[in-house]
Amino acid sequence: MTAINVQTVLFYMLLGASRTASKWLPMIPDGSHQVIAVGTNLVLTCIYQYRDEYDANFSNIWWTLPDYVEKNPLGDLHTRLSKTFYRNETHSTSTIVLLRVRHTDTGFYGCEQNSWNKKKIQQYVYVYNDNSFDSKSSFLTFMDPYEAAYLAQQGVSLHVPCKPTHPSLNISVIRTSQFTANGIVSMDLKKESGKYQEDLLSESNSNWLLKAERGLTLTNPKVGDAGKYGCIGTMNNITDEKYFDIYVKGMEVVRVGEMEDPAEGTNATVICRMFTETEFSSPPEWSYRINNTGQMRIINETNPPEGIQIKTQRWSKEACISGCREFTYFESRLDLLDIKENSETAFQCSSFIDQQSVSKIIMFTLKGTSYDRKPEIITVIAISVTIILLMFFVVGIGMKLYFDKKNAKEEIARRLGGNPNGINPDLPIEYQIEFLPYDKRWEFPRHRLTLGIQLGTGCFGRVVKAEAIGLKDSKETVKTVAVKMTKSLSDVVAMDALISELKILIYLGSHLNVVNLLGACTKDIAKGELLVIVEYCRFGNLQSYLINHRNQFITQLDEFGNMKSGIDAEHPNISEHLDLTVNGEGRAVQQQANTLSTRDLISWAFQIARGMEYLTSKKVLHGDLAARNVLLADDGVVKVADFGMARKMYYSDYYEKKGQGLLPVKWMAIESLTDNIFSSQSDVWSYGVLLWELFSLGKLPYPGRNAKFELIKVLQNGYRMEKPDNAPNFFYEMMTDCWKLEPNERPTFVQLQQMIGNYMEPLTAADYLDVGVPHQLCNDDRSSSQMSTMPNEESDPQFEKEDEMTQL
């Protein structure tokens, strides 16, 4: 085995246990869902592998069942369900058997174990009647088959648990009748080839949604939505139908007919609908706003003002929803006859719902109304001249905006297009970003990307958490991702930088220790919107993580600054602690008391060196390597981020303003500070500072030294930071090697990786797990489509890049 392969395996040995941790509680059969036939037996088994002696003595396994299975009104669960539990020295096994399953047993089945690092796993089970000749086949199930009516609050989403018992089942929703003040009015439904044409789920502006595991959802329900509905399931030319009533408690006020404002001399109609419990109900009451005072005046329904007619109807119906009681539907119709210029145009409907006062206001204006205006001739002339001048001004501004937008669109298209023929393989890629093309195979449909909470922000750019549906090469239908975008849609400088990062991400391909590109949305780039979709690392950046977990740090050094022997058995690494969540600000939050050990820091240092060696091999300089720009993902994997973005456009305490750029002074090599020279060896200097951050658990480098000129002076005089308390002697020697004055005397990232690998060898166990293979295969596949004009991928750590500090 070659030396580099040995180091690769050593890294994955540290990572292997955490990878298998996700499989320490498998369910058999595995998979996110399964389909079984009605009348058969459901058998599920969970196996938990002990992690320590405490687990072996105290861990147990619990099962969770669908709500209806546990609350079945037949009460026969104790006769159909059996559980077994077995324990030995290495693992516990629990099996449940549910006899003679019914379609109502469809739902989530899960198991969990109760040790300090709780694990959970669940599977969705469809119970399906596969007898296609049975006319009584049940394809649909309700959470409560005996519940046929649902009560919603106006504007609050209503869930109807009509769920399919097979993933291939086609579901539609129809409305068979409407509840009105005149009673129940049947809808005119049309059927073609056995299918209803009025499917509410397929309408473009439908407020009905379907999720197989949860059922139907009526969003933003209104009083007018009350009525009888059908949930129709069809498969293999067999149809199953479930019918239910929906009542919507509340009040709505609408205008009948044309949505345009009425003209003088015409009629208009306003309707107030209300649904509430009869016991606490009272008919709605109309008021109008007095035009000259703005006050509301109640309308006497039996003696209304001239030009107003009111007719109120009511209909009562008993409904059994969590108990039977009577409800009343009110519909009050207000007709405005022969509307005049001085007619009232603001009306309020008021009543009591659940003993609470409720009111709705509707307003409109009259069109085509003539007023007796007699302005003086001078005023007319002044207004006319002003309008003409304003028109010239608006036309001029409009022409300028049009040509500016046209030029910007052409320029953006040119920057995205690139020129592959202009790429020089002997130069660093950052010199040639404008030549890199945008590969349209990375384009992702904007409508399948749902943006969520903000994870981070700077002066010009921000990163948000998002969900992408149907992402290419993803095993998940809905994948959590991170999306980079500019803060301002009109910021050309920020847009240029984001385009550059997108091109570099495409050029780089995939690597385990680099934040990888997943897609991009460029269709609206001319409008200032560019979305770059990258991997989401839920534990945030290393600097914040180290600071937040200082109190849980466990040193594995002896009194001489060397690693203790037998540390694997003493303290697991942080990658084994998976009980973390992310709060609204994107920060990792502990659910259990996690530990952070010296071995974790060593593993991260090795991974970062691997990621940087990959960037160097692709002739990409980082320029801003620091703990804040390294992200922590699942299973203890760290990923280098923000590469190719040395010209950071945000300002913070870490950066010093210089011209139009911002410099990360405390992480920059001496030659970068004095002569503006950037190379892979200046990134090595920054790596040494990053190591200091790691082993100081997130402290700011060069404490007490903030001025740039002071820092340059002490560095030129030979000053270097002292060894952090938690750093092994070996790593402090590596830091000082990275901080040598002459760039050529510093180790390369290939050498750094080998040095750490050799140091790690006696600290590791004998189990191997090469989890990097998928990334390598993905990268090989993508690299096969790279252009022949791209720079070669051989490592050239000595290439240098000179640039003006104002461009950084």
What are the structural domain ranges in the chain? 17-128, 140-249, 256-363, 412-536, 598-760
| Residue 221 CB contacts under 8 Å (≥ 6 apart), including other chains | 152, 153, 154, 155, 156, 157, 158, 207, 246, 248
The least confident of 94-98, 114-118, 483-487 is 114-118
Q: Which residues pair with 96 in a beta bridge?
A: 44, 83
Topology of domain 412-536, per CATH?
A: Phosphorylase Kinase; domain 1 (3.30.200)
Residue 439 pLDDT: 81
Residue 60 pLDDT: 85
Q: Is 674 annotated as a binding residue?
A: no
Read off the DSSP letter of residue 237. Answer: T
Q: How many residues does the chain have?
A: 808
Q: Is 457 annotated as a binding residue?
A: yes
Is the pLDDT at 203 greater than 90? The verdict is no
Q: What is the mean pLDDT of residues 261-272?
A: 84
Residue 460 pLDDT: 65
Q: How far apart are CA 270 and CA 250, in angstroms?
A: 17
Residue 733 pLDDT: 95
Contact 314, 328 (CB under 8 A): yes
Single out the residue of 598, 607, 613, 601 nearest to residue 747, CA to CA. 613
User: What is the maximal distance between C-alpha atoms in the chain?
Assistant: 103
Three-state SS string across 503-539, please?
HHHHHHCCCCCECCEEEEECCCHHHCCCEEEEECCCC
Single out the residue of 704, 772, 709, 760 nearest to residue 731, CA to CA. 760
731 pLDDT band, cuts 50/70/90, is very high
Q: What is the mean pLDDT of residues 448-467?
A: 85
Q: What is the mean pLDDT of residues 555-569?
A: 76
Residue 802 pLDDT: 35
Token match 């105290």: residue? 58
322 pLDDT band, cuts 50/70/90, is confident
Contact 126, 167 (CB under 8 A): yes
Q: Is 323 annotated as a binding residue?
A: no
The least confident of 8-12, 229-233, 321-325, 620-624 is 8-12
Question: What's the predicted TM-score (pTM) here?
Answer: 0.47
Give the 3-state secondary structure of residue 127.
Answer: strand
Read off the DSSP letter of residue 568. Answer: H
CATH architecture assigned to 140-249: Sandwich (2.60)
Whole-Å CA distances, 447 to 84, 468, 521, 599: 47, 9, 10, 44
For the ranges 297-301, 470-474, 655-659, 686-690, the maximum mean pLDDT occurs at 686-690
Which helix (H) or strand (E) element contains residue 395?
helix 377-417
Q: Which two tokens stand for residue 673?
A: 């500070």
Q: How far apart are CA 358 and CA 354, in angstroms?
A: 10
Q: What is the mean pLDDT of residues 544-572?
A: 80
Q: How far apart are CA 255 and CA 106, in angstroms?
A: 45
What percent of the chain is modeled with pLDDT above 90? 26
Is the pLDDT at 466 greater than 80? The verdict is yes
Cα angle 693, 694, 699 (rounded to 5 degrees) comes to 40
For the ranges 159-168, 316-325, 399-408, the maximum mean pLDDT occurs at 159-168
For 622-656, what is each residue's pLDDT tens digit? 888 999 999 999 989 999 998 644 333 333 334 44
Cα angle 167, 171, 175 (rounded to 5 degrees) comes to 160
Q: What is the mean pLDDT of residues 304-326?
A: 84
Q: 491 or 718, which is more confident? A: 718
Q: Is 538 annotated as a binding residue?
A: no
The least confident of 254-268, 364-378, 489-503, 608-622 is 364-378
The class that CATH gives domain 598-760 is mainly alpha
Pick the CATH number of 17-128 from 2.60.40.10, 3.40.640.10, 3.40.50.150, 3.40.50.300: 2.60.40.10
Q: Catalytic amino acids?
A: 624
Q: For 219, phi and psi rounded to 5 degrees?
A: -90, 145
Q: How far apart are CA 327 and CA 277, in angstroms?
A: 4
Q: In the chain, what is the straight-line distance between the N-terminal and C-terminal CA atoms, in Å? A: 43
Q: How far apart are CA 590 and CA 694, in angstroms?
A: 20
Residue 179 pLDDT: 87
Computed over every residue of the chain, the mean pLDDT equals 78
Residue 601 pLDDT: 95
Single out the residue of 269, 177, 274 nearest to residue 223, CA to CA. 274
Q: Is 629 annotated as a binding residue?
A: yes
Single out the residue of 683, 675, 680, 684 nearest to residue 716, CA to CA. 675
Q: Is 170 annotated as a binding residue?
A: no
Asked if omega into 797 is within 30° of 0 (cis), the reply is: no
Residue 598 pLDDT: 93
| Residue 170 CB contacts under 8 Å (≥ 6 apart), including other chains | 233, 234, 235
Contact 290, 297 (CB under 8 A): yes
Read off the DSSP letter of residue 721. Answer: P
Is the pLDDT at 133 greater than 60? The verdict is no
For the ranges 261-265, 518-522, 588-592, the maximum mean pLDDT occurs at 518-522
Identify each DSSP E strand in 99-226 by its residue range. 107-113, 119-128, 140-142, 149-153, 158-160, 162-164, 170-180, 183-186, 191-192, 195-196, 208-211, 215-218
Q: Is 398 annotated as a binding residue?
A: no
432 pLDDT band, cuts 50/70/90, is low
256-363 matches 140-249 in CATH topology: yes
Residue 404 pLDDT: 67
Q: How far apart are CA 496 and CA 528, in angstroms?
A: 11
Q: 416 or 91, which is more confident? A: 91
For 738-797, what is each residue's pLDDT tens digit? 999 999 999 999 999 999 999 887 765 333 234 444 454 445 444 444 433 333 333 333
Q: Is 463 annotated as a binding residue?
A: yes
| Residue 697 CB contacts under 8 Å (≥ 6 apart), including other chains | 546, 547, 549, 550, 553, 596, 724, 726
Is the pLDDT at 267 greater than 90? The verdict is no
Q: Is 642 annotated as a binding residue?
A: yes
Identify each DSSP E strand in 487-613 by its residue range. 517-521, 531-535, 553-554, 580-582, 588-590, 596-597
Token match 């466990």: residue? 554
Residue 413 pLDDT: 65
Read off the DSSP letter of residue 723. Answer: P
Topology of domain 256-363, per CATH?
A: Immunoglobulin-like (2.60.40)
What percent of the chain is modeled with pLDDT above 70? 75
